[in-house]
Amino acid sequence: MRWLRAGLLAALTLGPAFGQCAMCREAARSQRQQAVDALNSAILLLGAPPAVILFLVGRQAWRRRDS
């Protein structure tokens, strides 16, 4: 359980550092800082549901591994 908490903490703290693809980064270079911050937030917000779904599927698989 400790490694899970450490991984979650790392994902949440490193997310803003790696939150942009190459196209988004190029588009953000020509924008004001407020627009860049909004773009980063939107990218992270759109990435949250797949991460939660992946976690839930993995948890179900982990619980059913012995049955």
Q: What pLDDT tens digit does each residue of the chain (67 aa) get?
A: 777 777 777 766 665 555 567 777 787 788 888 988 888 888 888 888 988 999 999 999 988 987 6
Cα atoms found within 13 Å of the Cα of residue 35, Cβ hemisphere only: 9
Whether pTM exceeds 0.85:
no
Q: Are 42 and 20 in contact (CB under 8 A)?
A: no
Q: Using alpha carbons, select from 12, 20, 24 the residue that is nearest to residue 48.
A: 12
Q: How far apart are CA 2 and CA 28, in angstroms?
A: 37
Residues in the chain: 67
> Is residue 20 left, alpha or beta, with left meaning phi > 0 and alpha meaning psi from -120 to 50?
beta
